[in-house]
Structure 1
Amino acid sequence: MKFGLQLGYWGAGPIENAAELVAAAEEAGFDAVFTAESWGSDVYTPLAWWGAATRRITLGTAVAQLSARPPTALAMAALTLDHLSAGRHIIGLGVSGPQVVEGWYGQPFAQPLARTREYVRLVRDVLARESPVTSPGPHYPLPYPAGAPGSTGLGRPLKPITHPLRADIPIWLGAEGPKNVAQTAEIADGWLAIFYSLRLADRYEEWLAEGFARPAARRSRDDFEVAATVQVVITGDIATAVDRYRPSTALYVGAMGAEEKNFHADLYRRMGYAEAVDEIGALFREGRKAEAIAAVPDEMVRETMIAGPPDEVRAQIKQWEAAGVTMLMVTARDVATIRRLATLV
């Protein structure tokens, strides 16, 4: 089992002690540090800024949103960071949701699986640098087709001027549904599992196995990474820990997605919390945020949390490892917690 530090995306301002946290994670033996983006801070600038002070720790995006950049632009950022970090980059990608994709980026959300497959293929083509990059589309046609709206017809196939340090920079995908997880196993090098649940571990393995069984699968289960976002809390007061993370669970289930399409809500329904999910979502839509948070059952928060005294936490980590998780992505926000977590594995 490995630890990754998930710095996430910023709220109203930067994470003030982020540089200190990254330094502590590297010193403590954490394997990786990750940044994220929503509709505020971007994913690459903080990663490069904070990562510049490190020498060993892997630098990952979890996740870079597909609609934020064309695949060639993502590949440019990735090959640049990989050079600057001497080959320590992980590309983590995700489709986000229709509210962000269409509301913030002004892009269509339709066919997220097909878009992901095409996007990943183009990123790999850029990094391979074997020939000028072309694609028939339909989502990312290269060059832009002559005769298409606004086209001059003058586009020509190109390959990167800069030679990538690695043609095989790992690509990990954020995925929640069965089809998306299966495709992740087929085309990616790792799975970024948000809200991983031991209750669903057998189903996850079935979805992954479907992808590994496909003829074009890149990897097998033996060399595939499963990085699970999880709160790891060393405490004798589990009730207080649950209360601390209850608002986050409520937010993702009830407000981070449309009523008609919320992938986080769908995942918790698979865990068996359909009734609570419906109530939380209804309360958020009515503007009753405090009541929505109060409606989250304790066990729903505990579902995706590792908490307890040190020996119990170690035992729970072993359970997650036995279930197939290879990295725990934690959101520690103080140096003491990072150092303490490092003693658990």
Structure 2
Amino acid sequence: MTRWGITLPLTGVPLAAHRELVERLPELGYTDAWSAETAGTDAFAPLLLAAQWAPELRLGTAIVPVYTRGPGLLAMSAATLAECAPGRFVLGIGSSSPVIVEGWNAGEFAEPYARTRDTLRFLRAALAGEKVTADYPTFSVRKFRLERPPEPAPPIMVAALRPGMLRLAAREADGAITNWLAPGDVPTVRAEVGAGVELVARVFVCPTVDADAARALGRMLISGYLTVPVYRAFHEWLGRGEVLAPMREAWAAGDRQRANEVIPDSVVDDLVVHGTPDECRAKIQSYVDNGLDTPVIALLPTGDDPLEQVRALAPQ
């Protein structure tokens, strides 16, 4: 069965106001609800509520940064949610970005590959109930043991954008989570993780027939995200280095308006799903047809009722 996910919470909707929608997600055909963590809700709270509102859903964090919680606290948070949703929770972890880690959380964004790998290894042991005393290359832990390790221990997925992290996810985790890619990019990513490894991707969806409005919003998001070094490197690897060079140059010069203007329509249309609900649904399905296991819709604001849009984008 193809999985079909939604990102919670929805933009502009209070967390408590999601109950009726979340309760209906399974009957609409949604199989998954995934959270994000930037500067809004934390990654765990929306899923704790969803675990009670819709016991059929699989729940996942996409993603929890490995720098913004200590290893022990991260294990505790994951164990709590796994206990509330036994067998239905996936812990997605990743390095996040310097803005979130350093600018907003007073951490040090150092050795992201190694820190993610070490946190993954620690969490494997901790969530299995082991008493962990270890000197990892990027941190040390002494005598940590969860009071109530979850049964079963949750799968752990790794956020990955390029070959090194994708291969880590395939080798040591239970899947890979990616972001900001087009349907045609999926085979490139799939080739790095191989067959049989779950591949999850957040897909930005703007359900409107006003293409100009959708592209304007898409350009703002693309210039804000794809100028971040990790995303820049990702899209250079995917082959968009040259077409996005004018955007990066304008952004570096401080001309945000120009940075948006020089992004071609074709890039926006590749990376942001827009159109009628039927057209959006078909393009989301094209990700799956190209090798994605779990599309996770990230609904972009259009001014229309987001709750109704989630219903309209349902797979059935």
Moved over 6 A (4+): 8-11
Structure 2 CA distance for partners of 1:315 and 1:47, relative to 1, 3 Å: closer
1:170 aligns with 2:186: no
1:323 aligns with 2:295: no
Amino acid at match of 1:300: V
- The aligned residue for residue 246 of structure 2 is 279
Percentage of matched positions with identical amino acids? 28
- The aligned residue for residue 165 of structure 2 is 180
1:58-137 correspondence runs (5 A)? 58-129=58-129, 131-137=130-136
Cα deviation, residue 263, structure 1: 1.1
Cα deviation, residue 315, structure 1: 4.8
1:26-65 correspondence runs (5 A)? 26-65=26-65
Cα deviation, residue 20, structure 1: 4.5
Whether contact under 8 Å (1:122, 1:133) holds in the other structure is yes
The structure with the larger Rg is 1
Alpha carbon RMSD of aligned pairs, Å?
2.7
Range 241-250 or range 63-72, more displaced: 241-250
Whether contact under 8 Å (1:58, 1:88) holds in the other structure is yes
1:204 aligns with 2:189: yes
- The aligned residue for residue 159 of structure 1 is 145
Aligned pairs, number: 310
- Normalising to structure 1: TM-score of the pair? 0.79
1:246 aligns with 2:219: yes
Please give the alpha-carbon distance, in whole angstroms, between the structure 1 residues aligned to 2:244 and 2:17.
34
- The aligned residue for residue 307 of structure 2 is 335
Structure 1 residue corresponding to 2:260, chosen from 285, 289, 293: 293
Whether contact under 8 Å (1:2, 1:327) holds in the other structure is yes
| Secondary structure in structure 1 of the residue aligned to 2:53 | coil
Whether contact under 8 Å (1:8, 1:62) holds in the other structure is no
Please give the alpha-carbon distance, in whole angstroms, between the structure 2 residues aligned to 1:117 and 1:249.
28
- The aligned residue for residue 140 of structure 2 is 141
Gaps in structure 1 of 5+ consecutive residues = 144-156, 210-220
- Normalising to structure 2: TM-score of the pair? 0.86
Please give the alpha-carbon distance, in whole angstroms, between the structure 2 residues aligned to 1:6 and 1:18.
12
Gaps in structure 2 of 5+ consecutive residues = none
Q: Deviations over 1:291-317 (max 9, x none)?
A: 322222111111223444566555544
Range 189-198 or range 106-115, more displaced: 106-115
- The aligned residue for residue 149 of structure 1 is none
Please give the alpha-carbon distance, in whole angstroms, between the structure 2 residues aligned to 1:16 and 1:249.
30
Structure 2 CA distance for partners of 1:267 and 1:313, relative to 1, 3 Å: same
Amino acid at match of 2:31: D
- The aligned residue for residue 204 of structure 2 is 231
Please give the alpha-carbon distance, in whole angstroms, between the structure 1 residues aligned to 2:311 and 2:11.
23
- The aligned residue for residue 192 of structure 1 is 177
Please give the alpha-carbon distance, in whole angstroms, between the structure 2 residues aligned to 1:282 and 1:68.
31
Structure 2 CA distance for partners of 1:102 and 1:124, relative to 1, 3 Å: same
Whether contact under 8 Å (1:118, 1:139) holds in the other structure is yes
Please give the alpha-carbon distance, in whole angstroms, between the structure 2 residues aligned to 1:14 and 1:295.
35
Please give the alpha-carbon distance, in whole angstroms, between the structure 2 residues aligned to 1:173 and 1:296.
29
Structure 2 CA distance for partners of 1:15 and 1:249, relative to 1, 3 Å: farther
Q: Deviations over 1:10-37 (max 9, x none)?
A: 79x9568544443343441211112111
